[in-house]
Amino acid sequence: MTLAPSPSAASRSLRDRIRRRGRVQSAADRAVLVMHDVAKTYPNGKTALLDVDLVIPEGDFVFLVGPSGAGKSTIIKLLIRDEIATRGQVVLDGQDLARLPRRAVPKIRRKIGIVFQDFKLLPTKSVWENVAFALEVTGSPRRKIRPAVDRVLALVGLTAQRSQIPSQLSGGEQQRTAIARALVHDPRLIIADEPTGNLDPLISWEIIQLLLRINELGVTVLMATHDADVVTALRKRVVALEEGRIIRDEVGGAYHRAD
- The residue ranges that bind other proteins (CB under 8 A) are 80, 82, 103, 106-110, 112, 114, 120, 122, 124, 133-134, 136-139, 141-142, 181, 185
Instruction: Please state the φ and ψ torsions of residue 119, each to the nearest 5 degrees.
Output: 65, -45
Give the whole-angstrom CA distance, residue 190 versus residue 216: 13
Q: How far is the CB of 52 from other proteins (least distance, A)?
A: 22
Considering beta carbons, is residue 184 or 230 the nearer one to other proteins?
184
For the chain, the residue count is: 259
Detail the DSSP E strand segments found in the chain.
31-41, 47-57, 61-65, 87-92, 95-96, 112-116, 189-193, 220-224, 237-242, 245-250
Considering beta carbons, is residue 79 or 231 the nearer one to other proteins?
79
Instruction: Kindly calculate the radius of gyration of the chain based on its CA atoms and give it in whole angstroms.
Output: 19
Q: How far is the CB of 136 from other proteins (least distance, A)?
A: 7
Considering beta carbons, is residue 52 or 178 the nearer one to other proteins?
178
Q: How far is the CB of 166 from other proteins (least distance, A)?
A: 12
Give the whole-angstrom CA distance, residue 150 versus residue 193: 25
Considering beta carbons, is residue 83 or 227 the nearer one to other proteins?
83
Considering beta carbons, is residue 144 or 256 the nearer one to other proteins?
144
Residues 6+ apart with CB under 8 A from 156: 176, 177, 179, 180, 183, 210
